[in-house]
């Protein structure tokens, strides 16, 4: 094996990790759009119907996709049936039911702030389970990001929490457990298979509750085209792509490292609010910068960036 071959092998994991980082960040940004879409959908649809509709569409779309491109999906289901069912009910049905119910009184940006606590929750739960404490840089990055998120949404200017915020917080804990469980309890399944089967089980659970406590067919028939478009966006961009991108991140980078990128969710939510005419003030812009800095630090990307810059400017480089 030549030196060039060895160099190529050493670069391959770095490129794979970089792609996983980019996809996970993309998932977080798409998730940030879901809060505004949820607010729009809830104008015309009851919460269980909106959540069930979103994931019925998403589960069908991703199932067709998986059956077209991956042959091992059914084997993965047989091998991980209990894990997929439990994680689907917890991380898909549980998390999204909490989001839709909570968003009746919470705001999109505040909900994004609450989601910003997921990296800390995930890292702490992972540390307790594995009995391995995260490094100082990771903890420092999470603290910086949380501070930036709080600054972004005005937590230091007298903002008050709504009744639905506690429900969204409970959903964020469910998402932390889902993130950890997909890495620890699922075996021999690709990110696409894991996303597909957990979404299918979650959709079935949401549909069951929706038909038990609401009238989904009548509600959908009476809904506006705007609400329908919001549900469709959440189903395809905000569910199929985000869950798949997130599973790639978990499988390559691990749950704790991947969950740090959820600090980008409230940043994306703020950006979408600005695009709709609610422009950020200087304090919010500073908060966005801090949140991104914290993500880079906790993800281990500040050190390599500094070394690369130093290497380019070093006379010995």
What is the rounded CA–CA span in Å between residue 261 and residue 299?
8
**Strand spans (E) along the chain:** none
What is the rounded CA–CA span in Å between residue 40 and residue 126?
35
Q: Which residues contact 135 (CB under 8 A, 6 or more apart)?
A: none
pLDDT in tens, the chain (317 residues): 443 443 343 455 678 888 888 888 888 889 888 888 988 999 999 999 999 999 999 999 999 989 988 888 899 999 999 999 999 999 999 999 998 998 888 777 677 777 777 777 777 788 778 777 767 777 777 778 777 767 765 656 655 667 788 888 899 889 889 989 988 899 999 888 998 999 999 999 999 999 999 999 999 999 999 999 999 999 999 888 888 888 888 888 887 678 777 777 777 877 787 777 766 667 767 776 777 777 667 656 555 444 443 444 333 33
Q: For the chain, what is the radius of gyration of the CA atoms? A: 20
Task: Give the per-residue pLDDT at 221.
Answer: 94
What is the rounded CA–CA span in Å between residue 53 and residue 210?
9
Task: Supply 303's token pair.
Answer: 């050190």
Can you give the pTM of this predicted structure? 0.74
Task: Give the per-residue pLDDT at 311.
Answer: 46
Give residue limits of the domains in the chain.
27-313
What is the rounded CA–CA span in Å between residue 44 and residue 225?
10
What is the rounded CA–CA span in Å between residue 25 and residue 61?
22
Task: Give the per-residue pLDDT at 94.
Answer: 94
Rounded to whole angstroms, the maximal C-alpha distance in the chain is 72
Q: Which residue has tokens 């209990």?
A: 82
Contact 70, 192 (CB under 8 A): yes
Task: Give the per-residue pLDDT at 262.
Answer: 72
Secondary structure percentages of the chain, helix, strand, coil, to 5: 80, 0, 20
Task: Give the per-residue pLDDT at 279.
Answer: 66
Task: Give the per-residue pLDDT at 8.
Answer: 42
What is the rounded CA–CA span in Å between residue 142 and residue 119?
7
Task: Give the per-residue pLDDT at 69.
Answer: 86
């Amino acid at each position: 094996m030549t030196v060039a071959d060895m160099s190529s092998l050493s670069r391959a994991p770095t490129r794979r990790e970089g792609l996983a980082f980019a996809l996970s960040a993309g998932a977080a940004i798409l998730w940030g759009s879901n809060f505004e879409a949820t607010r729009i959908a809830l104008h015309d649809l009851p919460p269980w119907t909106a959540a069930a509709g979103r994931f019925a569409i998403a589960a069908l779309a991703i199932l067709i996709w998986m059956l077209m491109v991956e042959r091992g999906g059914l084997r993965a289901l047989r091998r991980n049936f209990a894990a997929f069912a439990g994680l689907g009910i917890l991380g898909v049905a549980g998390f999204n039911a909490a989001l839709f119910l909570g968003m009746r009184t919470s705001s999109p940006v505040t909900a994004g702030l609450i989601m910003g606590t997921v990296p800390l929750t995930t890292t702490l739960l992972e540390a307790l389970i594995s009995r391995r404490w995260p490094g100082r840089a990771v903890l420092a990055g999470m603290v910086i990001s949380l501070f930036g998120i709080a600054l972004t949404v005005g937590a230091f200017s007298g903002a008050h929490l709504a009744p639905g915020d506690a429900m969204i917080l409970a959903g964020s804990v469910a998402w932390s457990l889902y993130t950890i469980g997909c890495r620890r309890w699922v075996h021999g399944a690709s990110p696409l298979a894991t996303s597909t089967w957990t979404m299918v089980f979650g959709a079935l659970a949401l549909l069951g509750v929706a038909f038990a406590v609401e009238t989904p067919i009548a509600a959908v028939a009476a809904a506006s085209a705007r609400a329908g478009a919001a549900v469709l966006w959440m189903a395809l961009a905000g569910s199929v792509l985000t869950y798949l991108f997130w599973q790639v991140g978990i499988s390559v980078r691990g749950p704790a490292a991947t969950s740090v990128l959820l600090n980008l969710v409230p940043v994306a939510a703020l950006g979408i609010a600005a695009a709709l005419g609610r422009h950020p003030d200087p304090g919010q812009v500073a908060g966005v910068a801090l949140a991104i800095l914290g993500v880079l630090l906790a993800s281990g990307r500040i050190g390599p960036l500094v070394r690369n810059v130093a290497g380019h400017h070093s006379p010995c480089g």
